[in-house]
Amino acid sequence: MKLEQIMNAMPALLKGSVLTLELTVISIIFGMILGLFLALGRLSKNKVVNSCCWFYIWLFRGTPLLLQIFFIYFAFPMFFTPPLKLLDFPSALIALSLNSAAYMAEILRAAIQSIDKGQMEAAKALGMSYGQAMKKVIIPQSYRRLIPPVGNEFIMLLKDSALVSSIGMTELLRVTTQIANRTGNAVIYLPCAAMYLILTTIFTVIFEKLEKRYSVYE
């Protein structure tokens, strides 16, 4: 393996990294929003809402992510006549978002439940509704407790996003495989691993910084 070969592959690897990053960041944001509703649903006293959210989490945590990706890309469009044309990028995004939402829901639920009951009581005694108390008192307090597990989930998702190479998304791993096949030189996986490590390290640092910022009051 010549250094030159690696240097030649760098633009492609960087492009792949950008796609990996896009997939991860967008999915984690959607996952977080959907996850919050799922978490509130799991905390709800309404039995129907609660069981629906339980079912969702059970389904998405209990089946492989790769299967979910295949299902959404290949099987889901078949339910429509004529079959839906789903592109690879939205399919990948949907699969990763839906999957991370299930994990996020459990992270959020645990964080919300870990807040002292007295906080909700004080908010209610001050006249706040359940929604106001959640928004102003409970959820803001859960931020700091959320950061470590969310950071963890983010890094898992960043690595798991490699699975969407199976439906033809040219993210970092797929790009590398293509280059390896084309040049017959598999050492190119080394710089690929380095790219993943750089990405995960950057985000580990960002999440550590965030955690410090949110612990000012403790």
Partner 1 sequence: MIKVEKVCKAFGHLQVLNGIDFAVREGEVVCIIGPSGSGKSTLLRCLNQLESVTSGKVYIENELIEDKVPGEAYSKVNHKKAAEICTKLGMVFQRFNLFPHMTVLENVIISPMTVKKMPKAQAAAIGLKLLQKVGLEDKKDEYPSRLSGGQQQRVAIARALAMQPKIMLFDEPTSALDPELVGEVLSVMKELAAEGMTMIVVTHEMGFAKEVAHRVVFMDKGEILEENTPSEIFANPRHERTKAFLHKVL
Site for partner 1, rule CB under 8 A: 116, 118-119, 121-129, 132, 136-137, 140-141, 216-218
d(Cα 104, Cα 195) in Å, to the nearest integer? Answer: 25
Q: At residue 45, what are phi and psi to the nearest 5 degrees?
A: -85, -15
Nearer to partner 1, 52 or 115 (CB): 115
Contact between residue 90 and residue 72 where contact means Cβ atoms under 8 Å apart? no
Least gap, CB of 129 to partner 1 (angstroms):
8
Q: Which two tokens stand for residue 173?
A: 């791993």
Q: How far is the CB of 210 from partner 1 (least distance, A)?
A: 15
Q: Residue 107 Cβ, how far from partner 1 at the closest point, in Å?
A: 19
In the bound state with partner 1, the residue whose beta carbon lies nearer, of 110 and 137, is 137
Q: How far is the CB of 138 from partner 1 (least distance, A)?
A: 10
Least separation in angstroms between CB 150 and partner 1: 17
**What CA–CA distance (Å, rounded) separates 103 from 152?**
11
The smaller minimum CB distance to partner 1, of residues 70 and 143, is found at 143
E strand segments, 29-176: none
Helix (H, G, I), strand (E, B) or coil at 117: helix
What's the CA gap between 126 and 128, in Å, rounded? Answer: 6
Q: Which is nearer to partner 1, 63 or 129 (CB)?
A: 129
Structure tokens at 107: 């992270």
C-beta closer to partner 1: residue 2 or 47: 47
